[in-house]
Amino acid sequence: MCGIIAVLNKDNGANDITNVIIEALERLEYRGYDSSGIAYLDSINKTHRIRSVGRIEKLSNEVKSYALDKKAIVGIGHTRWATHGVVSVKNAHPHKTDGISIAHNGIIENYKELSSQFNINLESDTDSEVISQLIAKFMEDDLNFEESFKKTVSLLRGTYGIVAICEEEPNILIGAKKGSPLAIGYSVDQIYIASDAIALSSLSENVIYLQEGDIVVCKNNKYTIYDKDFKEVAREITNNIVSMKDITKCGLEDYMLKEIHEEPNVLLKTFENFENPVDIKKYKSLYLIACGTSHYAGLLAKYWIEDISGILVNVEIASEFRYRNPVLDKDSLYIFISQSGETIDTLCAMRNVIDRGFDTLSIVNVENSSIIRESKYKIRTHAGMEIGVASTKAFISQALTLLLLILEKNKIPTHKIAESMQSVIDMSDFFEDMAQKIRNSRTIIYMGRGTSYPISLEGALKMKEITYVSSEGCPAGEIKHGPIALIDTDVYAVILAPHDRYYEKTISNAQEIIARNGRILTIGSGRIQNHDSIEINNTGDIGNPFVLTTAVHMLAYYTAKSKGLDVDKPRNLAKSVTVE
């Protein structure tokens, strides 16, 4: 979703900061955005603002062609993912009112109330603009920039990560965080505020994550943090663990391909680093709560956990769970799964459970994220930084982590599974050919039984989000109850059929598709005459889902490539979904 970077030159900072902002915005591209902008003050305290719809490259070219005759000394940059107001230059951030410029992530729920209460006419269609309007208004009432900012923040309802600069007080940069991440960094000659440690990589060796309600004021070469009651506080300084290796493509064409290639290694790394913080066998039942791909990891784990341990597992979509008033059991463990650790629905669902005093465990990939910080028990998955908007390797680490909660390590043949995943990656030629055949399908239906069913959902999600081809996942036994009506010569069915206890039944379902002129790709075991198939090594009920996952990720990737699409930044999507 939206990204923020703000830079303040210290006294000794002689550099023009526009390049620093643009480069950081490029590193934030992976979060997903539709427009971007930059506002900065020059050495005679004049604001310059450039905003653009589309890629950062366009903004960068506009900034380069902008005749800057004075050095930029403090500035803010933003990538916007539209929520309130269409994608347009007018709605892009930074918003500017008089000499105040702000960038905002999140949603201000009471912006309409505030606008009418303070007689504000918004120029844009956004909720965010009310922030610059209010700060400017309070400065007219003789408050200084810092006081006006604090007063404004105290009136806001909703979620925010905000940065602001002001012409009248050009040596100050201010930020505030509630429900949307914000971190501080610093170097010898600059101080930074960003929504993401990746924006600060190569700028700051350390990061300081703000906590809920914190405000940071950067001036006089230092930063000061205030908590929600405006009391000065110290927050932990941590190493910025985002390395250049994390943010390069390692010679491959796209981050998504690099991340699929990492899947076998992620499996091994997750296995080696796993430490169990909680004995789940002492709970009567488990709730697995998440969104999107992380939710599918939960669905997969339900098959394993119930089969292996007999513990009841409820799998819940976080956005439904948080509003549904669900019947909760105090003897259950509530497990929240999230790659980013910032998904607002998952975070709020977890807060509901914490408020009721029940035990929570989070399984999260991003260090120091809100979900991992706030849960009682925590496990970090070790997938490494995931930049492609479509989640791939994180699913592998989430699934294995959930399995390790219940199964002894010596029962998981990780090396054999990783080798089988690697053999799938080595068959890229097959997937390239296959992509040509399926890319123009009207619909692609993925089907599987047992543990292959959640993988069919994952395959369909990945396919639709990066190729824009309508795709759905379906339990193979269900197709007769509706989806079979879709079948004709323009439809491809991807049958996930490893050699497991469901094999014969799944293949019978495939025959039903063939009988209706549907086209078939079988991934698993055996082949159906005159139809496409790819064999995977059988690694049993534990291993097959991992290998099938790599296969469906490869299929989606090469199909999107064959359509010439940007796989890392699919349209309308964001990496970290911090708004509802």
- The contact set with ligand F6R (CB under 6 A) reads 291-294, 338-340, 343, 346, 390-391, 461-462, 465, 576-577
DSSP string, 240-271: ----TTTTS-TTSS-HHHHHHHTHHHHHHHHH
Instruction: Tell me the C-alpha distance between 412 and 418, whole Å.
Output: 11
Provide the CA 568 distance to its chain's centre, in angstroms: 12
Q: Dihedrals φ, ψ of 500, to 5°?
A: -120, -170
Q: What is the largest CA-CA distance in the chain?
A: 81
Query: Is 250 one of the catalytic residues?
Result: no
Q: What is the DSSP pairing of strand 491-497 with strand 190-194?
A: unpaired
Indicate the residue among 446 and 502 with the shorter CB distance to ligand F6R. Answer: 446
CA-to-CA separations, 55 to 69, 513, 556, in angstroms, rounded: 25, 42, 23
* Closest distance of CB 446 from ligand F6R, Å: 14
Amino acid at position 250, single letter: C
Closest CA to 328 of 300, 359, 307: 359
- Position of minimal CB gap to ligand F6R: 292
Contact 40, 21 (CB under 8 A): yes
* Closest distance of CB 270 from ligand F6R, Å: 15
Indicate the residue among 441 and 576 with the shorter CB distance to ligand F6R. Answer: 576
* Closest distance of CB 458 from ligand F6R, Å: 8
Indicate the residue among 338 and 441 with the shorter CB distance to ligand F6R. Answer: 338
Instruction: Tell me the C-alpha distance between 173 and 373, whole Å.
Output: 26
Structure tokens at 173: 């940069």
Instruction: Tell me the C-alpha distance between 98 and 157, whole Å.
Output: 24
Indicate the residue among 111 and 546 with the shorter CB distance to ligand F6R. Answer: 546
Catalytic: which of 177, 178, 393, 575? 575
Indicate the residue among 292 and 518 with the shorter CB distance to ligand F6R. Answer: 292
Catalytic: which of 2, 218, 291, 474? 2
Indicate the residue among 332 and 343 with the shorter CB distance to ligand F6R. Answer: 343
Indicate the residue among 21 and 350 with the shorter CB distance to ligand F6R. Answer: 350
Q: Dihedrals φ, ψ of 302, to 5°?
A: -55, -45
* Closest distance of CB 254 from ligand F6R, Å: 14
Indicate the residue among 201 and 319 with the shorter CB distance to ligand F6R. Answer: 319
DSSP string, 487-541: -STTEEEEEEE-SSTTHHHHHHHHHHHHTTT-EEEEEESS--TTSEEEE----HH
- In 26-89, the DSSP E strands lie at 35-42, 47-53, 72-80
DSSP string, 382-396: ------SSS--HHHH
* Closest distance of CB 472 from ligand F6R, Å: 15
Indicate the residue among 18 and 381 with the shorter CB distance to ligand F6R. Answer: 381
Indicate the residue among 166 and 297 with the shorter CB distance to ligand F6R. Answer: 297
* Closest distance of CB 247 from ligand F6R, Å: 18
Indicate the residue among 18 and 294 with the shorter CB distance to ligand F6R. Answer: 294
* Closest distance of CB 411 from ligand F6R, Å: 27
Helices (H), 406-451: 414-425, 428-438
Instruction: Tell me the C-alpha distance between 264 and 414, whole Å.
Output: 9
Query: Is 575 one of the catalytic residues?
Result: yes
Provide the CA 313 distance to its chain's centre, in angstroms: 25
Contacts of 384 (CB under 8 A, 6+ apart): 246, 262, 266, 269, 393
Q: List the strands of the sheet with 470-475, edge to edge.
A: 470-475, 443-448, 491-497, 519-524, 532-535
DSSP string, 110-164: THHHHHHHTT---SSS-STHHHHHHHHHHHHTT--HHHHHHHHHHH--B-EEEEE
* Closest distance of CB 345 from ligand F6R, Å: 8
* Closest distance of CB 388 from ligand F6R, Å: 8
Structure tokens at 575: 């990496």
Map residue 469 onto helix, strand or coil. Answer: coil
Contacts of 225 (CB under 8 A, 6+ apart): 184, 208, 210, 214, 215, 216, 232, 233, 234, 235
Hey, which residues are catalytic here?
A: 2, 575
